Amino acid sequence: MPRPVDTSPETRAREAEQARHVSLRRIARLFRPHRGPLAVVVAVIVASSIVAMASPFLLRAVIDDALPHRDLPLLAWLAGGMVAVAAVTAALGVVQTWISTGVGQRVMHRLRTDVFAHLQRQSLGFFTRTRTGEVQSRITNDIGGMQTVVTSTATSIAANLTTVVATAVAMVALSWQLSLVTLVVLPPAILISRRVARMRRELTAARQRELADLNVTIEEGLSVDAAALHRTLGTGPALVDRFTASSARLTDLELRSQLAGRWRMATMSVVFAAIPALIYLGAGLPWTVGALSIGTLVAFTSLQAGIFRPLSGLLDVGVQVASSLALFSRIFEYQDLVVDIADPEHPVELSGGIEGVRGEVRIEGVTFTHPGGDRPAVDDVDLVIPAGTTLALVGETGSGKTTLGALVARLHDPDAGRITIDGVDLRDLRLADLARVVGVVSQETYLLHTTVRENLRAAKPDVTDAEVEAAARAARIHDVVAALPEGYDTMVGARGHRFSGGEKQRIAIARTLLRDPRVLVLDEATSALDTETERAVQLALDDLARHRTTLTIAHRLSTVRHADRIAVLDHGRVVESGTHAELVDREGRYAALAA
């Protein structure tokens, strides 16, 4: 069934409130690094506007002086002046466009990269509760929707405002009485523009929300895993109906957004066009005949037509800026997300550097509750893993094993207690240093959609081909890869679907070997494999864990029998610990699991 868009009054009110509180000063700060080029653009705009104002006066001189007196030299100079004005303004326009577009694109580039980098620093909790399509939509569609505003708004305001001011001065110089007529249309034009801006802002928020929903549907329907799921469940037609309904709503919103206020703005265009006609009519009345020369009248109406265009441009820019506030609010909302897990202000260096890490891990009074959880996933856990030894965590599903492994890799931070490596709290280490010290191999293996070689080099970009092959041999995957037609240059496919589960696991192990971490977290790395594949992967894991501090999270107890120590978790607490033989002899929880 199609999923309706949330268009409740509460949602619309919340988004409208967010848009209203977007600071124009904050938007202006995006352009602060480009003040020099923008100053040049403003100077070019001012020069262009001043030069352009010469045309009406040249026209008046042609009509009132050169033509009536048949002064050909003067006419030639005036015509040449008109051509020169057009050429100069055109050249200045090209310079203005070149500089302003460059500035706008650099601002867009900085905004995209800042948002992407900031989201990269978010904790797993953010990605767990946020739809992937929503994130993609904000980076691509929302920022893309702001492109026109970012690249041309500042220059459009400067150009139109300068033109309006220069034209107004020229109009007053020609006839201050006729200039008063122009002021009549300004109040209703401003009022109408404000109403149109409000309409478009609401429609823009709804359109971007619907566009994000459309992206989510694409993500949920066209990825490899999703395609397989819908094919096996037979839910493809329902998904098509959902996509069709979302696309139809988006089409309607796009149409309404484009037509919002068009009749009102069209009415103002008619009014703008009617005023010159009224001036011509007034100039022909008996009591006004002779008060103005024909040249002045023609020059003035030319200026008046010229002032209405930039005036309309200013009003349109106001509408665009107001409607784009909805986009800025969505982007700034992501930029303002608090980074839960960040580098410390004063990082601590490990004794002896990364190469000198012994790898002793201590878990001291650690408690952690997942956001929204009603009870701790890990509750007051104390464990010690001496350097170079293996600790296995066992327990029923939901006992907290994976959460504890994630805490050791600092994918989460504990609510209470601390975890240390060689006596240094993980929160005091740089994230980059921690990633070099702690390696993770999980059941859910993620491979990049590139070649086998590049997937392995993702762990350490500067490794040689010989080192890549050595790691693959150690992980017992080299023969499989070498037998492929393109060897290590074979594309793994989306999410590694070119390979079986066991093969992907061994590629992940080879990738971890290249990083050579001193501490390993093995999160049920063989639980979903058949017996034969598990045996091959387990041999690779045994080689990987040799001489390293290893935390093994086990589903099959047969894989942890030879661990130096085994800890049994139940509802987030350690209820037993010891060797395999000791725990079996106690006939407690471990013995029950092993039975």
- Model confidence over 256-298: pLDDT tens digits? 776 665 666 666 667 666 677 666 666 665 545 556 667 767 7
Band the pLDDT of 312: cuts 50, 70, 90: low
pLDDT beyond 70 at 528: no
For residues 504-519, give the mean pLDDT: 85
Backbone angles phi, psi at 394, to 5 degrees: -130, 165
Q: CB–CB of 526/534 below 8 Å?
A: yes
pLDDT beyond 90 at 308: no
What's residue 381's pLDDT? 93
Give me the percent of the chain exceeding a pLDDT of 70. Answer: 73
What's residue 106's pLDDT? 86
d(CA 302, CA 298): 6
Band the pLDDT of 1: cuts 50, 70, 90: very low
What's residue 416's pLDDT? 94
Of 445, 397, 359, 381, which Cα lies nearest the Cα of 554?
397
What's residue 11's pLDDT? 46
Look-up of token digits 């867009």: 108
How far from 136 is each of 115, 214, 333, CA to CA, in Å? Answer: 11, 11, 14
d(CA 486, CA 480): 11
Band the pLDDT of 566: cuts 50, 70, 90: very high
d(CA 116, CA 136): 10
In the chain, the domains with their CATH numbers are 9-335 (1.20.1560.10), 354-594 (3.40.50.300)
Of 143, 145, 158, 146, which Cα lies nearest the Cα of 38?
158
Structure-block tokens of residue 378:
């890990």
Length in residues, the chain? 595
What's residue 36's pLDDT? 87
Taking the chain, what is the end-to-end CA distance rounded to the nearest angstrom?
46
How far from 111 is each of 139, 140, 179, 545, CA to CA, in Å? Answer: 9, 11, 44, 42
Which amino acid, 262?
R
What's residue 425's pLDDT? 93
Of 32-36, 304-308, 488-492, 555-559, minimum mean pLDDT range:
304-308
What's residue 573's pLDDT? 93
Sheet containing 424-425: give its strands across.
378-385, 361-368, 416-421, 424-425
pLDDT beyond 60 at 114: yes
Band the pLDDT of 463: cuts 50, 70, 90: confident
Residue that wins the pLDDT comparison between 69 and 549: 549
Decide: residue 341, CB within 10 A, 0-12 exposed, 13-18 middle, 19+ buried.
middle
Which amino acid, 32?
R
pLDDT beyond 80 at 434: yes
Indicate the DSSP class of residue 554: -
Residue 568's DSSP bridge partners are 394, 576
Q: CB–CB of 361/420 below 8 Å?
A: yes
> Can you give the C-alpha Rg of the chain in angstroms?
35
pLDDT beyond 80 at 208: no
For residues 520-533, give the mean pLDDT: 71
Backbone angles phi, psi at 386, to 5 degrees: -60, 150
Sheet containing 438-442: give its strands across.
438-442, 519-523, 549-553, 390-394, 565-570, 573-578
What's residue 137's pLDDT? 76
What's residue 531's pLDDT? 67
- SS3 call for 94: helix
What's residue 384's pLDDT? 93
What's residue 3's pLDDT? 37
What's residue 5's pLDDT? 36
For residues 366-378, give the mean pLDDT: 88
Of 136-150, 219-233, 501-515, minimum mean pLDDT range:
219-233
H or E element, residue 378:
strand 378-385
CA angle 141, 231, 209 (to 5 degrees): 20
Band the pLDDT of 491: cuts 50, 70, 90: confident
Band the pLDDT of 152: cuts 50, 70, 90: low
